[in-house]
Structure 1
Amino acid sequence: MMEPIDAFYRLCECLKTDNKVEEVSKMFSSFERDSNRVSFVMELLRQYNILTLPLCRKDKKSDTIAAEYRMQGNRAYQQKDDRKALSLYNRGIAFSPVVQLADTEGDSNELSLGFANRSAVAFSLGDSASCLKDIDLAFKYRYPANLHYKLLERKGKCFLRMNRFEDAFETFTGALKALELASLPAEKCQSVKKQIIELQGKTESRNAATEKPYLFSLQQKLPRKTYQESNEIVCACDAVEIKYSQDMGRYIQASKNLNPGCITGESFWKVYKIATYNCHNLFIFLSIFKSQFFLEDKMCGNHRMTGDVIAIERPYASVLLDNAYYTHCYNCLLRCNALIPCETCSMVMFCSDKCRNEGLEKSHSVDCSILAPLTRYGIDKMGMLAVRIILTAAAYGKKLNELISEIRSFEMETSADKRTKGFSKDGKYHSDEYTTIYHLVGNTDKRTVGDLFKRAVNAACILHCFEEYSDFFNPENASSNKQLPDSGKNKGSEGHQSPQDFQKEAKLIVGGLLLRHLQNLPCNAHEVSEFIHISAVTQNKEKFDLDMIEIGAAAYSFLSLINHSCDPNVVRNSHCGSTAVLRVIKPIKKGEQVFDNYGYHYATHSLEERQLHLSSQYFFRCMCEPCTGNWPLYVSLPSAQLLLKCTHCSAMLEDNFPTNPSEGNLVTCTMCKGVNDVVKRKKVLMESSDRFMENISAVLRGHTEGVATSLVTHLTLLHENVLRPWKEYNDCQEALKQCFNFLGNCYTI
């Protein structure tokens, strides 16, 4: 495979050779508009013929390549490496030319063989539904008649495994009939026939197959928001609001008390305030808290113990990472064991005909032809997401005129209210409208000339792919815009732009938009993730592996408004593919700011590392408590000597260990003079801690029902009573986050 073209490096080398680096840098830095920056760089790339280099069409269908992948899959399957075999079969299917179904005659084809072989992997994995789907697809694409008996036998086994006895009996009958067409030696034929008859007998005796049940699962249920819908933020509840300050820009603030349990924030704080008014009532608090949890847990139905859900946001645009092209659906981003290919390119696959048709009606009608060139130019996930944003905003080229008109209106905006940037005319913040993405901060004024120049080169390469390998700027699309009022230049005879002039302006504006998003996405885009839970038995011992993997990238305008903390109070989970669910992971009081984590947590990254990455990518210096207090990494977090906080003012109690019997168990806070029964509080915490340790192994096994309630209780006790940093606080918070992970994009085997 040809190496990616590093257009930026090539251009820099050409400029060095001609001694034009300083001249070009000075001229480039004089531009104030992104569109002019990209236009300038585009001319340079063309001047040095960098955009005319040959491209490797690695997306072209090929029977030869498909057959090679299928044979590799066969070897992996024989070695009982089902996951590797599945991936290789998928690649083979993706590269297989799609046969015309009207042609019912002819030899077998790679597509049918690929589906048939992949069905064996699905059966081995215990995925009967995918196995049945692949068998039907193999038949649809003319699987050889002399081998039909194999697939029918496998299909019957699937029905038997699913206790569909009538279907199994009928299918085994068909397999016996198909066996007559098989070119098998007599002895082999009799052996196969005997085996099928035995299986058919199981259907009559209703004797279900004993194969292990399929463990693969994907959660696809969205929770409900805990509170009423916000009147201003469409994707969020009314417990949060958008604020603005000169120092922090826009940020999200709690307008109600929030907590990590399903019990409502108002109820929680009311119960806690009453119960802890006197320090002797902690046991009362626990009993009330437990009963209130149970009551509201029932009210939440199937969504119990999902924490305070303050936002459920679908992305404006999302993309699948290239390393997931052969494991996940390109349209909905869900994992699938029975993917079907794009009929034109070999790069992406879909989970169903519905998703394939939807994908082709949308972005893939354009990016099908430009994915390979974009890859050749080394465009990364942020570049791919910028492409998807432009395709979405312009309705894949069909509404390019409306996008251009919208950009003109943005440029003429004079509103001084920075808090409401991107709000619609109805006074609301809509995540599904382009204006919210357009107005995200890009930190252009904080970037170096070199940084902007490199991003402009990438934008120019993407624009070149649009121009040369797609019909995004098709003159027919432009001609439909003849009634679009001119921007003030190049007016036609009737005072409107000609199609040619509109097309020229459209390319200029789209180039600028690409560069705009290549600046604001690194500061605002979020990953789409999948939680992997693997349970296995090795040497008579259970082994559990938990891992979070990135499968895509998405643009969420509301989530982008949440500021960073190295000790966040909310967590994001991907659900149903790319939908983001925002949950609370520690109590947040009304008026406090909601904090997300941008990938640099105090427990896993040193202070120097956090500050370096946050300043270089996000252009700010973090001043959260772990940073200002220089909290240690997880391995060095304190865990031996428990330090309590005053229940009245939250200050650290200087005397955590009373020794004067005459004073009993009471300690007086030196700050507020409040009285604290530290012995009783420590006893409650120790008992709760013992229950917490018992729950850890259950979470690792994926048994979260009933466990999350206990985790929230323990986390709340720690939050209100223990001085941080404290290792067990982190452990409990991580365990609760794992419970949330099981509710989202969870892949369990």
Structure 2
Amino acid sequence: MAAALDFPKFLQNATEIWRSQSSKEKYCIQNAYELDKDVICLGMKIIDWRNSTVDHCIESIQGCLKSSRSDSKSASSAEDSRQKGNQLFQKRNYRGALECYTKSVQVAPHDGKDTLALAHANRSAALFHLGRYKASIQDIDEALTRGYPTNKHVKVLQRKGQCFLKLHNLSEAEEEFSKALRCLDSITGEDKKRREIKILLQESSNPTSVSFGDQLDIPDEDIKEKSSMLANASSAVTCKHQEGNGRFLEATRDIAAGELLIKEKPYAAIILKEEESSHCHHCFEQCSPIPCPNCIHARYCSSRCRSDSLTQYHSIECGTEQLLQQVSVFSRLSLRILITAGREELSNDIRKPKTSSSQPSSSSTSTSLTTAKGSSSGYLDGGLVNYESIVGLEAHWFNHSHEELIQYTVTSILLAKCFYRELVSLKTCETLSEEELIAEIASLLLLHTRQLKSNSHAITEVRPSEGENTAGKSAGGTVEEISQFRVATAVYPTVSMMNHACIPNIIPSFRKGILCVRATKKIMHGDEIQHCYGPQVGHMTTSDRQQALLNQYCFTCRCRACTRDPKSRDNLCMKCPKCGQPLNAMTSICGKCAVWIDVLVLLKEVDDTMITFAELVEMYPAAVKDVTLMRDVISKTKTCHDVLDRILIPPHMHLAVAYNFMAKCHIALQEFKEAAPWLAKAIPTIECRFGRDSIEVANELYKLAQIYFNGKEIAPAMEAIDRALELFIRHYGNSNEEVLVLMKMKACLMNA
């Protein structure tokens, strides 16, 4: 099928052919006044699209679009994977078993037989042993829906009840145990099983622990008063345009810190390849996936996400993954934009009279993602997002290299040739020739691919840092360190209208792909609402931030943070080694001793100490498994601290990093009371660097609260929890995972 085409090689050959053309044809692609369609027509002329391999690929994709697309499913492969999973399960290798069972679920045919049901039931057992109780319940429900053998219902109903018991959902647990007992009424010789379930039923009826199920089920927050003009936004936000600043968002009234300003679903989104096996391909939540009924690639967290995906776009993309995996994320997302728009909207756009693209700004000082003049027509239609709101985003001709534009063009033509019949109405197909229709679709794909370089957004999730021993989330004697990870790329039309600032006044967060924008500080009436595109104060130097923004978004940032004194405080915080008083940063003379200090010698000592410290950090994974080695790491880290404390004045990030690592080492030894003071010493530096009310401080307080909790230090734990809750709710609202964990910890302490 499509795998017969080595697309990267084809793209390389096409680029070389284009480069070999005459000067006029070679460079007209960079003419700012050319329409996308003119460039597409040039690409269709220059490249040999009658190549047999390309023809075979196009025919395969078009054939796949017409077929039932279920030939990749295999009952024998599903059974083989399930049996391998069973072998690993018997050896208590639950993670390995989970992987095999998931493969079995993916390839099992949806033919009404019990192959798929058995795979779901077996996976539910692995999930139960891994402590993933909600996912286990979902798999049990899928197994029962898919025809799981009646004589085995007792087993999965008991497991489902145990999952609810672990989740402290006692009424649901009681119901499932009762169902299991009723199933046993028709089976003889199961007295032992009956006694076992009755004991569990009694446990669910007489709880010995606090139930958190109801009080932690916090409803999702919505915007209190929505704008009638700006899609998915609060009435506190409006869109304006200013010469040199482009379109931007502005506050229509005073906005309080923590207020929800925008809540927007992506117009279209694509999951990253490395997250495909562990996340839903539609809402991007972590899950134990259920498959598409026809292909083995698409995975979903629920039947609802699967149904929505099939309705909105996957029914067209299904079975074409071998080609789509070879094109860039932007090209693939551009195709999904067209599929999402639908046949009628695309047909209407194609029939519109075409005009030359507005001249893009070639200035390197532009500070806007969206610089097109005029009103945002797509946003003035009753506050609803439509395809025009995507078409209206700025595409920035001059922000792409010649080679990028060639590759975008060639990819757009190939995708148009494969999918054009699926994208427009039959009437449009009848009024245009095949070549004209392909050129129209390819030109739209090229437009969106160009737009996405500066208008796409990362969908991220907060999860435990990779490589950390975080099981249990402070309930089982460990402390969870969290970081942000990118899981998908999306386009959000309203959010795309915010300009950048290295110190933003909002923060984005994601839940099931929905982007929520909250104010992180008070925003006054008339102030611009500004978002950080990535490079942020505290994480990067001024020069590094400006270079990153220039490379990605093609503008030189001139926000307040970039135009003020760029010197780092870290370089000014050194002590006199004799008396401990601060050194004069300009003269290197101690004000108390009145002697000159060779700062280079001190810097060399700090550098050598940090090299030693880096080596200790590398030893940590091995030390986790060796108590003696961990004691040695702690001792040597303490020596590093002594050197840094003697030379550097807090707040200094070298000190904060070292304090944090010492806390981490004590945590590995379950020495929570020893860990807490070290992390507490690091927090003032984090406050100084990122701000007292920053999300970085919230993350540190989250760790500190867990340390106090595990150390049974109730008063300081409650203090850290309350402050962390205040910051997390301000930044992410009530429905955040960290908020739920902190509330659960607080409830435990209040009932202690």
Q: Which amino acid aligns with 2:516?
A: V
Residues 489-638 of structure 1 correspond to what in structure 2 (within 5 A)?
A: 499=430, 501=432, 504-532=435-463, 536=472, 541-575=477-511, 577-629=512-564, 631=566
The answer (yes or no) to whether the contact 1:315–1:578 under 8 Å persists in 2 is yes
Where does 1:191-270 land on structure 2 (aligned, <5 Å)? 193-203=191-201, 221-225=219-223, 228-260=225-257
Identify the residue that residue 165 of structure 1 maps to in structure 2: 174
SS at match of 2:557: coil
1:434 corresponding residue in structure 2: 387
Q: State the TM-score, normalized to the length of structure 1.
A: 0.66
Instruction: Write the distance in 2 (CA, Å) between the matches of 1:566 and 1:454.
Output: 32
Report the Cα offset of residue 35 of structure 1.
Answer: 2.0
Residue 315 of structure 1 and its aligned partner are, at CA, apart by 2.5
Contact 2:457/2:489 (8 A) holds in 1? yes
Name the CA shift for 1:67/1:746 in 2 (closer, same or farther; >3 Å): farther
The answer (yes or no) to whether the contact 1:127–1:214 under 8 Å persists in 2 is no
Matched, 1:321 2:256: no
In 2: Cα distance, 1:354 partner to 1:629 partner: 50
Q: Secondary structure at the match of 1:355?
A: helix
User: Identity across aligned pairs (percent)?
Assistant: 23
Query: Cα–Cα, structure 1 residues 418 and 528, in superposed 2: closer, same or farther, change >3 Å?
Result: closer
Shift of 1:450: 1.8
Residue deviations 1:588-647 (CA, integer Å, cap 9, x gap): 33333221111111322233332222112211001123322354679769799xxxxxxx
Residues in 2 aligned to 1:633 and 1:74: alpha-carbon distance in whole angstroms: 57
Higher relative contact order (CA 8 A, sep 6+): 1
- Are 2:413 and 1:460 aligned? yes
Which one of the candidate residues 285, 295, 302 is aligned to 1:352?
A: 302
Q: What is the deviation of 1:431?
A: 5.2
Residue 507 of structure 1 and its aligned partner are, at CA, apart by 2.3
Q: Which amino acid aligns with 1:89?
A: Y
Q: Is the 8 A contact 2:2 2:323 kept in 1?
A: no
- In structure 2, the partner of 1:116 is 121
Q: Deviations over 1:92-149 (max 9, x none)?
A: 2112111136xxxxxx52x122111111133334555543442343344444566555
Partner of 1:90: 102
8 A contact 1:160–1:209 mirrored in 2: no
Find the counterpart in structure 1 of residue 26 from structure 2: 25
Q: Distance in 2 between matches of 1:587 and 1:224?
A: 19
Q: Secondary structure at the match of 2:458?
A: strand
Tell me if structure 1 keeps the 8 A contact 2:34–2:357. Answer: no
Alpha-carbon spacing, 1:158–1:19, altered in 2? closer, same or farther (3 Å): closer
- Larger helix share, 1 or 2: 2
Over 3 Å counting, the alpha-carbon distance change for 1:98 and 1:248 in structure 2 is: same
Instruction: Determine if contact 1:314/1:578 at 8 Å carries over to the other structure.
Output: yes
Distance 1:531 1:629, change over 3 A: same
The change in CA–CA distance for 1:198 and 1:601 in structure 2 (over 3 A counts) is same
Q: 2: CA distance between counterparts of 1:360 and 1:133?
A: 20
Two-structure CA RMSD over aligned residues (Å)? 4.6
1:60-115 residue CA offsets vs partner (Å, 9 max, x unmatched): 223354345445544665565656654543332112111136xxxxxx52x12211
Note the alpha carbon deviations across 1:357-381, whole angstroms, 9 max, x for none: 3322221111113333211x2332x
Change (3 A) 1:204 1:7: closer
State the match for 1:391 in structure 2: 339
- Counterpart CA distance in 1 for 2:163 and 2:246 is 57
Task: Quote the Cα distance in structure 1 between the aligned partners of 2:221 and 2:310.
Answer: 30
What SS class does the counterpart of residue 194 from structure 1 fall into? Answer: helix
> In 1, Cα distance between the equivalents of 2:357 and 2:410?
27
8 Å CA contact 1:639–1:726 kept in 2: the answer is no
Residue 75 (structure 2) aligned to one of 41, 63, 77: 63
8 A Cα contact 1:573 1:744, kept in partner: no
Paired with 1:98 and 1:217, the residues of 2 have a C-alpha distance of 38
User: What letter is aligned with 1:225?
Assistant: I
Contact 2:35/2:356, CA 8 A, preserved across alignment: no
TM-score by length of 2: 0.66
Matching residue of 1:330 = 281
User: Helix, strand or coil: the match of 2:38?
Assistant: helix
Query: Could you say if the C-alpha distance between residues 341 and 22 of structure 1 is closer, same or farther in structure 2, counting changes exceeding 3 Å?
Result: same
Tell me how far 1:585 sits from its aligned partner.
1.5
Query: Using the alignment, how far apart are the partners of 2:81 and 2:241 within structure 1?
Result: 55
> In the alignment, which of 143, 149, 164 is matched to residue 138 of structure 1?
143
| Residues matched between the structures, number | 578
Q: Structure 1: how far apart are the matches of 2:92 and 2:48? A: 50
Q: Is the 8 A contact 2:121 2:156 kept in 1?
A: yes
Q: Distance in 1 between matches of 2:201 and 2:527?
A: 63
Q: Residues 564 and 79 of structure 1: is their aligned pair in 2 closer, same or farther, counting only changes over 3 Å?
A: farther
Aligned residue number for residue 423 of structure 1: 377
Change in CA separation of 1:121 and 1:411 when aligned onto 2, cut-off 3 Å: farther
